[in-house]
Amino acid sequence: MTPLTDQTTLNHPDASILQVTGLTVQYGKVAALDPTDLQVGKGQIVTVIGANGAGKSTLLNALMGALPPKGQSHGSILFQGQAVQGWDIEQRVGLGLTLVPERRELFASMSVHDNLLLGGFRLHRAGVRGWRDTLDDVYALFPRLHERAGQAAGTLSGGERQMLALGRALMARPSLLMLDEPSLGLAPRVVREIFQTISQLRSTGVSILLVEQNARAALHVADYGYVLETGAVVLQGDAASLANHPQVLESYLGLSGARQRT
């Protein structure tokens, strides 16, 4: 499959934070991810769009080392120049990889504040000085979380919960933040708000790998995109080209009707 644009023109390979080559996943005998190549450049937002069941969560979980026991993954994952395939989750987190999973996995009965502090626990344990200062950055990014600092996480709205999940991930000061469908179950207005924040994160220098069914929102914030269908990348290119590709317009942006009318 020929890329619409050569990603090396967007980011020199040396500047890539994540370089995935021939990554596969099988659940028992069932293949969920065909050999997949993917790159994220430093400071880039890269998106993987695809329908329900395409293999998006499978891909992120394989990168995080968080597949269920019957999930088997092979291939090469270079993160910050290190071959991390075979490393456990803790080691990958230690190198700066963080995943906000599809199930946000917040502690419902704990306060917003305590949920955020837990996100920084590893840095605290590692004796990183000033780890708590990140809290100010997170509250500045999400004033709504600051207002609700003492409130139990379980009482937050869907959008606020997503903000908390993002904020907690940022507390670990990741160099690559992987987001599994941050728009899932949220109203359009809230989706816009979350994606604005994702876009703002660019200025912090964190690289982002974003998987989404909401192709429109994802391609709007991303630099580069991949289209995943039944476990295989079928299309890739810079986000603007992808958003104008007939196949993407028709299958993911629901614009086939518009085309027929013209």
Ligand X SMILES: Nc1ncnc2c1ncn2[C@@H]1O[C@H](COP(=O)(O)OP(=O)(O)O)[C@@H](O)[C@H]1O
- Binding positions for ligand X, rule: CB under 6 A: 27, 32, 50, 52-58, 68
Query: In the sheet that 45-49 helps form, which strands lie side by side, from edge to edge?
Result: 97-100, 176-180, 207-212, 45-49, 224-229, 232-238
Of the pair 55, 182, the CB lying nearest ligand X is at: 55
Measured from the CB of residue 183, what is the shortest distance to Mg ion in angstroms? 12
The residue type found at 151 is Q
Minimum CB separation of residue 137 from ligand X in Å reads 30
From the CB of 213, what's the least distance to ligand X, in Å? Answer: 8
Q: How far is the CB of 148 from ligand X (least distance, A)?
A: 29
- List residues near Mg ion by CB under 5 A: 56-57, 102
**Minimum CB distance to ligand X smaller for 116 or for 233:** 233
Using an 8 Å Cβ cutoff, are 183 and 217 in contact? yes
Closest CB 135 distance from ligand X, rounded Å: 31
Nearer to ligand X among residue 69 and residue 86 (C-beta)? 69
54 binds, among ligand X, Mg ion, none (CB under 5 to 8 A by kind): ligand X
Q: Name which of 67 and 123 has its Cβ closer to ligand X.
A: 67
Q: Taking CB within 5 to 8 Å according to partner kind, which of ligand X, Mg ion, none is near residue 52?
A: ligand X
Please return the burial class of 213, using the count of CB atoms within 10 Å of its CB with bins 0-12, 13-18 and 19+. Answer: middle
CA atoms of 243 and 229, how far apart (whole Å):
16
Q: Which does residue 58 bind out of ligand X, Mg ion, none, counting CB within 5 to 8 angstroms by kind?
A: ligand X
CB nearer ligand X, residue 16 or residue 183:
183
* Pairwise CA distance, residues 10 & 27, whole Å: 34
